[in-house]
Amino acid sequence: MGQNLRKYPRHPSSEVILFSVPILDMQGVKNINTSGLALNVSSGGACIRTSCALEPGHVLSIVGTQGMKAAMVKWVQQDKNNYIAGVMNV
């Protein structure tokens, strides 16, 4: 069958993550503090579900047990009232 060509193996997750993301609007840049659910994780990044309207290129500051980490949004799919996003550690 098909070969998995991913650089890092994915592991299922259901961890709630807290993050902030700078969003540009008419008044300038706002830092939005929000949360999401990690659906899967790897050494290179994660797939998350959140109600925050993320876009490719957004850089998230993720608060975790090992301190602050940064991740860039690589892709986003809207899923009803949520967004599913692939993020890459930076």
In tens, the pLDDT along 21-78 reads: 998 888 999 999 999 999 999 989 999 999 999 999 999 999 875 667 899 999 999 9
Helix/strand/coil for 71: strand
d(CA 36, CA 77): 14
- Asked whether residue 5 carries a pLDDT value surpassing 70, the answer given is no
* Exposed e or buried b per residue across 65-81, where buried means at least 16 C-beta atoms within 10 angstroms of its C-beta: eeeeeebebeebeeeee
> What pLDDT does residue 54 have?
96
> What pLDDT does residue 24 have?
85
Confidence (pTM):
0.86
23-28 long-range contacts (CB < 8 A, ≥24 apart) are: 23/58
Consecutive H or E run containing 46: strand 45-50
> What pLDDT does residue 49 have?
97
> What pLDDT does residue 2 have?
56
> What pLDDT does residue 4 have?
64
